[in-house]
Structure 1
Amino acid sequence: MPTLSEHLLTRLTAPLAPVDAALAARHPGEPGTRQPVHTCYVSAERLHPDVVLEWGECAREALAEHAPSPADLAKATGLAEATGLGAGMDGVARRTGELDPELAERVYAHVRRVLSLDPIQDLRVDLEDGYGIRTDDVEDEHAIAAAEALRMASEAGALPASYGLRPKSLDPAVRDRGLRSLDLFLTALAGDDGGPPGLVITLPKVSAPEQVGVFLAVLDELVPRIDLNPPAVELQIETPAAVLALPALVEAGFGRVTGLHVGTYDYSAALGIAAEHQASDHPAVEHATTLMQLVTAGTGIRVADGSSNLLPVGSTDVVRAAWRRHAGLVTRAWRRGIYQGWDLHPAQLVSRHAAVAVNLLAGLPTALARLAAYAEARSAGAVADEPATARALAGHVLRALDAGLLDDAGLATADLDRAVVARLGGR
């Protein structure tokens, strides 16, 4: 018989009730929605209704010219070396320096399919660094025209599931201009139906929680006046002050902020890192993204990696070098648990989707086998893997399902189904 009575334990643990409620509210877990593998930035003056189709076509042309076969793509992107997998379809890793032919075929087919059907998963109109400083009348025109183009793209079924705007920051020198463009863009986007769903606004160069509060207050004033569907908000972490204030930034945007995106080059430059060494795999940048992961863990706020400024443009050798670098950065981020990054050029879609496919397919047989064993063992009362590990395994399987690299038949072969995987993955 226990020494401490139930009544006494209830009294002693009563102070934890509000703590339990606060922790549950602050750490609700993953949002249960598909996460885009990238965010593509397009300068506002280049935005038109067919921009997604155009990027897909340009990417397909680059693939056909510079990697016309599965073996060419595997070699061009260096994915065998990046993943360390020479044979992945049987779940066995072999460091041969070449990608297993069957895996290479599946990756190539995936890239061609995605470039035709879903080349851009998250689109952002850029009025900030990628756009620069224009006269007021020109930026006014571009902000409105971009919003109208997005509405037309939505009506034609050519708008990604998530899209939005990156206006200028709240720094004093550009604050008024940024908020004016935000107003013009959202007013034009809202139209008379609230605008297309999936809207995200990215606030760049955040340095203090007060900026987050003011930006949300501006949206709270604007959105009801134009009957706009409330947008999600992402914060771009690209200043040392922002990294030092990460907990406060998340607190200021809690319940409204859905993502943190690292600004690789602004942050690197602010730390005094030479231009030739500025990259998302620099230790200083990876330290920042690790802190971002730490602060957002369990909150449902997603972290996105930065971009590669080595663009795949020019001769085949130059393009392949850029693809190899980009694919390596994507793979490094995936190994660190960061499944989204920036893309700045249509040809980067080739290396992005190829790297995603290799990382998912190479680990899929093992993930399915371990997840099936976990589900069976749990039903039998004997579990080897921890629940947290099972959640990670289910996350891998869910991302493969989201990417179209796995279907119900493949799940059934592993004695799994979507309901079980979704439940174990927290969806």
Structure 2
Amino acid sequence: MRVTLGDPPALIPGFEQAHREQSAAYPATAVEWQPVHTVYVPADRFDAGTVAGWGNTALDLLRRHLSRKDMTRFFEMHEQTARIVHEKVTAKLGTEPVEDLRVDFEDGYGLRPAEEDGHVAQAAEAVAALHADGTLPRRWGLRVKSFADGDPVRSIRTLDGFLTGVIERVGHLPEGFVVTFPKVLMKAYLGQFADCLEALEKGLGLAEGRLRFEMQVEAPQTVRFLDAGLVPALGGRLAAAHFGVFDYTASCSLPPHEQRLDHPACDHARHVMQTSFAGTGVELSDGSLAASPASDDRYVVRNLWWRHVSLIRHSLSHGFYQGWDMHPSHLVSRYVAVYHFHLSHYEEYAQRVRDWEERRGPEGGVMDEPATVKTMAAALRRADLALGNA
């Protein structure tokens, strides 16, 4: 064909550099396994029996308070879907109740200067025991105190003692480790914490980049400095960003009865997190429900599950596939909501992807765009990983 411009590349100076920067900042990555939750356990209440104990408690609650028939009616599920969900939740609680565990030395633990070193050693011992037993969750770690509290030495001492203790007892650092860094009120704290991780790697003889961390987004100040540039600036150590609903809503001066995960202020913060880290590979996690059953009364337990499921569904609909769980009862509602979400559209998505790939005409009047097909394929992959099909 005839063209007017003789040498298009000459008209686009700097393209190759810009494209290299794009590829580095926004790598094309496949959907990989991400835990559906992070379980936070205060350090003074954590031991080698915690994971099994949470699973047993959750399984007992499920068996006593939520039959398959109850699930159909209570959570508005199709009968066949409810049967599958009930079976999967029962099996999950009996085999892998916790996918991601965080030993908490921050808000859930408090200020205990005379006790913290001892609890660090106990936590390391418990992790070593879980690893030896083959029951250490696929993702695990600890949450240290914030630099914003004014005592970074305590934060790093706890992290150092925990890592040193685990490695001494196990002989190496088991896979899946990550540390949670809370209340990041100043951007500088991120670089300072990353430098501490680098120093720990060298001191412990770990491979470069082995220690990665999650930042918590818990204040409007933090939202203002979120951007994709944080990832390369931190040397790839930023693994995830977790939303902290109660500190965030308190920072926004919301009244106590409005401190909830589905408040519009929280939606805004989560959407900023999404746009800031889209395409970077940084995982996103939502926050928690700060409530547990006040009694073992069936009505009380099931009402808490109903509220928790509604919040999880809200998170999932906004593209947040992970959240925090703070009590064994939350495991039931977590897996119920997640499994139902992934099963609800699975067959529909699979058929639409097949139709697209085989160039068949749209059924039901749906004309899928390439971006939609790509999203459905990712949703199917994410569902398979969450449901244990992959």
Residue segments in structure 2 that go unaligned for 5+ positions in a row: 361-365
TM-score calculated relative to the size of structure 2: 0.93
Superposed CA deviations along residues 280-313 of structure 1, whole A, max 9, x for unmatched, are 1110011000100011111111111100112234
Of 148, 153, 161, the match for 1:176: 153
CA contact (8 A) 1:268 1:285 kept: yes
Of 326, 333, 342, the match for 1:344: 326
- The one-letter code matched in structure 1 to 2:2 is P
Confirm whether residue 284 of structure 1 aligns to residue 265 of structure 2.
yes
Q: Secondary structure at the match of 1:300?
A: coil
Identity %: 37
Q: Secondary structure at the match of 2:328?
A: coil
Q: Secondary structure at the match of 1:392?
A: helix
Residue segments in structure 1 that go unaligned for 5+ positions in a row: 81-98, 408-427
1:72 deviates by 1.7
Q: How does 1:16-415 map to 2 (within 5 A)?
A: 16-30=15-29, 32-67=31-66, 69-75=67-73, 78-80=74-76, 99-136=77-114, 138-191=115-168, 193-228=171-206, 230-247=210-227, 249-250=230-231, 252-253=233-234, 255-314=236-295, 315-377=297-359, 385-404=368-387, 406=389
- Per the alignment, residue 363 of structure 2 pairs with none
- Per the alignment, residue 10 of structure 1 pairs with 9
1:209 deviates by 2.0
CA contact (8 A) 2:305 2:333 kept: yes
Residue-pair matches, total? 380
CA distance 1:332–1:135, shift in 2 (3 Å): same
- The one-letter code matched in structure 2 to 1:337 is G
CA distance 1:171–1:73, shift in 2 (3 Å): same
- The one-letter code matched in structure 1 to 2:104 is D
1:220 deviates by 0.6
**Partners of 2:232 and 2:183 in 1: how far apart?**
17
Superposed CA deviations along residues 33-77 of structure 1, whole A, max 9, x for unmatched, are 20110010011111112321111101001111211x1122344xx
CA contact (8 A) 1:126 1:165 kept: yes
- Per the alignment, residue 414 of structure 1 pairs with none
CA contact (8 A) 2:145 2:181 kept: yes
CA distance 1:268–1:254, shift in 2 (3 Å): farther
- The one-letter code matched in structure 2 to 1:64 is R
**Partners of 1:294 and 1:74 in 2: how far apart?**
36
CA contact (8 A) 2:33 2:386 kept: no
CA contact (8 A) 2:72 2:79 kept: no
CA contact (8 A) 1:110 1:405 kept: no
TM-score calculated relative to the size of structure 1: 0.85
1:162 deviates by 0.7
1:10 deviates by 1.3
1:250 deviates by 4.5
**Partners of 1:255 and 1:25 in 2: how far apart?**
11
